[in-house]
């Protein structure tokens, strides 16, 4: 039964483009983009990660020196370079990267004068879309033209929300932008789901934010999915980018690793029980529960 479900999920998810988006900085966009991309590729999916942020954290997080990147996604957006010329291999065989570099910092302004400026990324992705099972776009912390390009190119949006004070602040504006894009620019855009990140289960604040976020997104008007899997605050997750590695290669036994693996399964539509049958030894994760912060 599981195999049939998995097969159907694979069919549905063929060539799916997912923008990881929140205009707030530091909500876990890059960490989620890198680690979901890594785990899905380790699960046998062919995955492309597009780094759309001039800070190039996804690029360096995958071990590529952003100072040595001569051609970035900028070349596709503003110089008509084919995406295939920009795709780099990474430490994981099934995972590929279109890097960012500092060129992107001028992109917002330079795009203004370009014809069909909202669709530059969609146009670039189109020829390679079905070469990949998943294409993730790591968005910058703004709702400017780069993010609008990501929303126009995407089939769906994942929204990482940090379990902190003011977690819900700005989400109304983000959801409004998504609605406007859906109405005017990309009618098939969906919200894939909300990822609760950096949870510290020792605090009441985390519990309150989780409850409030679930309540907010489950309202009749929104009905947006909040993933069951919650990403804990975990020191190993914050160390891994410094070593240019996704958590799967840096410390796969850490709680952060286990939770991103679990989230990748949830995204594939597989239940946590599926984790028991693979080689990741993730059962301990479920037994650990969510009360542990390593």
Ligand X SMILES: Nc1ncnc2c1ncn2[C@@H]1O[C@H](COP(=O)(O)OP(=O)(O)O)[C@@H](O)[C@H]1O
Residue closer to ligand X (CB basis): 13 or 156: 156
> Beta strands of 184-260 (E only): which ranges?
190-197
Q: Could you tell me the two tokens for 137?
A: 């776009």
DSSP for 155-205 reads SEEEEEEESSTTTTTTHHHHHHHHHHHHHHT-TT-EEEEEEEESB-TTSHH
Residue closer to ligand X (CB basis): 25 or 82: 25
Task: Find all residues with CB under 8 Å of 113, minimum gap 6, and list them.
Answer: none
In the complex, what is the shortest distance from the CB of residue 277 to ligand X, in angstroms, rounded to a whole number? 26
Among 151, 231, 248, 263, binds ligand X (CB under 6 A): 231
Binding mask 29-68 for Mg ion (x = CB under 5 A): xx--------------------------x-----------
Is position 62 an interface residue for ligand X (rule: CB under 6 A)? no
Q: Could you tell me the two tokens for 85?
A: 């010329």
Among 8, 12, 14, 25, binds ligand X (CB under 6 A): 25
Is position 57 an interface residue for ligand X (rule: CB under 6 A)? yes
- 231 contacts which partner out of ligand X, Mg ion, none, CB within 5 to 8 A by kind? ligand X
> Beta strands of the chain (E only): which ranges?
16-20, 47-51, 88-89, 95-98, 134-138, 156-162, 190-197
Give, as ranges, the residues between 148 and 207 that touch ligand X (CB under 6 A).
197-198
Q: How many CB atoms lie within 10 A of CB 273?
A: 11
Residues of this chain that interact with ligand X (CB under 6 A) are: 25-31, 57, 141, 197-198, 231, 233-234, 237-238, 241, 256
Residues of this chain that interact with Mg ion (CB under 5 A) are: 29-30, 57
């Amino acid at each position: 039964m599981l195999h049939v479900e998995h097969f159907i999920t694979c069919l549905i998810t063929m060539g799916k483009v997912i923008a990881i988006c929140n205009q707030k900085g530091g909500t876990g966009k890059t960490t989620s983009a890198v680690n979901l991309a890594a785990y899905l590729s380790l699960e046998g999916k062919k995955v492309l990660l597009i780094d759309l942020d001039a800070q190039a954290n996804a690029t360096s997080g995958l071990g590529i020196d952003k100072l040595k990147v001569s051609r970035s996604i900028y070349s596709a957006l503003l110089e008509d370079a084919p995406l295939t010329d920009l795709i780099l291999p990474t430490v994981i065989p099934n995972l590929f990267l279109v890097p960012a570099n500092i060129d992107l910092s001028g992109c917002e302004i330079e795009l203004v004068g370009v014809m069909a400026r909202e669709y530059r990324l969609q146009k670039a992705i189109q020829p390679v879309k079905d070469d990949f099972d998943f294409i993730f776009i790591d968005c910058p912390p703004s709702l400017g033209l780069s993010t609008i390009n990501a929303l126009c190119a995407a089939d769906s949006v994942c929204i990482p929300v940090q379990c902190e004070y003011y977690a819900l602040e700005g989400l109304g504006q983000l959801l409004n932008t998504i609605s406007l894009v859906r109405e005017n620019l990309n009618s098939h855009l969906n919200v894939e789901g909300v990822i609760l990140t950096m949870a510290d289960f020792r605090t009441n604040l985390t519990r309150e934010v989780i409850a409030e976020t679930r309540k907010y997104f489950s309202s009749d008007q929104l009905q947006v999915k909040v993933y069951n899997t919650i990403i804990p605050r975990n020191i190993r997750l914050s160390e891994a980018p410094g070593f240019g590695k996704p958590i799967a290669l840096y410390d796969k036994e850490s709680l952060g690793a286990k939770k991103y693996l679990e989230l990748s399964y949830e995204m594939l539509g597989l239940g946590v029980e599926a984790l028991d049958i693979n080689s990741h030894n993730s059962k301990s994760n479920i037994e650990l529960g969510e009360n542990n912060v390593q």
